[in-house]
Each structure stands twice: as structure tokens, then as C-alpha cells.
Structure 1
Amino acid sequence: MTVSAALAITGAVVALAIVCGFIVRAQDGRRRTGGHLQVRSEDLAGQPLATTATLVQFSTELCARCPQVRRLLGQIADQHAGIEHVEIDLTNRSDLATRYHVLQTPTTFLVDASGMVLSRWGGVARRSAIEDALASVLTLHPQEQK
């Protein structure tokens, strides 16, 4: 193999890695539907589902961005009656990562009172995206603000 061919291949691999990085970054924090997933209350570390909706955060011990998401979800839950925040540590519960198709941490689910996943975010979701998703649930269950 010539030096120019090796440099061309190396350049192509670097360019491909950069493009893949931009694609992955663009998907981070994007809202998706929950599909047919249903969270079981026994998977919530002994905490019941909230009366209106629950923000379920999947984290790990070594997750650098999880504390930021924990604070954000806690603030949002504190602002609305009937909304709770539950954090599940997947470090010792890899079975839950498989069951709920969690491929990265943090991952956040918006779950209704029956356990149905209404929305999900992989990575750090924007506050406005979570508030928009919550708005549809809160209109179905109008309650006083906390």
C-alpha cells in the first residue's frame, strides 16, 4: 500500500467519524415516543407512580450528565402537582436497561399514571421539550400548581 493510499483511507475514516459524531450529537436530547413500553411499578425502586405523571430517569454511577438531569427533573416535578421524579440506577440493574431499551444514560421517560411511556429522551433533554410533553398530560388532569 502506498503512503498516499494510506493517507486517503485515514482521511476517509476521520471524516466518517466526524459525520457520525455530528449525527449522534444531533439526536441527543431529542424527544421520541415511548412506543408500547409500559413501566412496571415494581421497577421504580419501591416508589409508586404519581397520580398524573412520573418523570423516570435512568442513570448510572459514572454518568457525568446525570446530576444535571436530576436537578432539572426535580425542579419540574416540584412545580406541578401530581408529577413526581424517580431515578433508577442501572449500575446494578442491567435487566431494566434491556427491558426498557435504554442505550445511554441519562435517559428520561415521561410516564402516565398507568405506567405507559408517553415520551422519552436519550441524553440531556431541554427543559422546554419536557414542559411541552407535560403540557398534554396536565391538560388532561388540570390541577393547582405547587
Structure 2
Amino acid sequence: MPFSAALLIVGAVVLLAVAAGVILRAQDGRRRSGGTVRVLAGDLPGGTLTPSVTLVQFSTELCARCPQVRRLLGDIATDRGIGHVEVDLTNRRDLASRYQVLQTPTTFLIDAAGVVLSRWGGVPDRRSIEDVIVAVPHGSMPTIRNQEQS
């Protein structure tokens, strides 16, 4: 193989890798629809759903970005008066398949019935999460309605 052909092939592979990296990076942390996914109460720590919305974080033991997301979601949950639970997928691969979790961290915002309102793969943006929480009908979130009335 001529040197120029090998150089072109290497250049094309590098270009494709860079393009794929840029695309994947742009998708990280973006909000997506929950689709038709419904979280079962028995799959959550404690085995119950909260009466308002809940932030559900899927993580693993070796996830480097999960502690950062845990702190972020904990702060949002405290500020907004909503639930926050973390589901460790390390020994629960069945849950990763059931909820179509392809990366950790993955965050769901679920309502009182377990319906996934929104989901984020990677490190979500605080404002993106708060925008969705604010948009949830007040009947589903009595704690936020009470805060706004005071």
C-alpha cells in the first residue's frame, strides 16, 4: 500500500473519531422525553414512590461522574422539596435493560405514578432539570405549590 493511501486512511479514521466524539459530547446531559417508560416502585430503594415528583439517578460503583450528579440532584431535591433516590446498577443489570439505561449517570424525573417525565444521560444541566420541575402541573407537586403561595 502506498504511503499516501495509508496516510489518507489514518486521516479519515481520526476525522471520524473526532466527529463521533463531538456528537457524543453534544448529546451528553441533554434532556429527552421519558417515552412510555414507567418506573416500578419495587425497583427503587425503599420500594415506594413519593407523592410528588422524584429524581431517580442510575449509577454504578465505578462511575466517575456519579458523585457530582448525586450532589447536584440532592441540592435540587432539597431546594424544590421533592424526592431523590439513587439506584446502583452494579448488581442490577436487569434494571439497566428494563429502563434502557445505556450510560451512567442517567437521571429520570418521575411523577407519583412512576411515569418518566424526562430523562438525561450523563451530567444534566441544573437549569434543564429545574425547567421541567417547574413545568409539572401543580396538582402533582403540592410542596412547590405551597412554597409559591407563601
Q: 2:147 aligns to what?
A: 144
Q: Percent identity?
A: 63
Q: 1:46 aligns to what?
A: 46
Structure-2 separation of matches of 1:47 and 1:69? 22
String of CA shifts for 1:40-80, please: whole Å, max 9, x gaps. Answer: 00000224211110100000001000000000100111112
Number of residues paired by the alignment? 144
Instruction: After TM superposition, list the pairs within 5 Å mapping 1:125-136 onto structure 2.
Output: 125-136=124-135
When structure 1 is superposed on structure 2, of 55-64 and 42-51 the one drifting more is: 42-51
**When the two structures are superposed, what TM-score results if normalisation uses the length of structure 1?**
0.95
**When the two structures are superposed, what TM-score results if normalisation uses the length of structure 2?**
0.92
SS in 2 for 1:32: strand
Q: 1:6 aligns to what?
A: 6
Q: 1:91 aligns to what?
A: 90
Code of the aligned partner of 2:27: Q
Structure-2 separation of matches of 1:18 and 1:143? 49
Code of the aligned partner of 2:130: E
List runs of 5+ in structure 1 lacking aligned partners.
none
Alignment check: 8 A CA contact 1:69 1:106 kept: yes
Question: Larger helix proportion, structure 1 or 2?
Answer: 2
Root mean square deviation of aligned Cα: 1.2
Q: 2:66 aligns to what?
A: 66
Q: 1:116 aligns to what?
A: 115
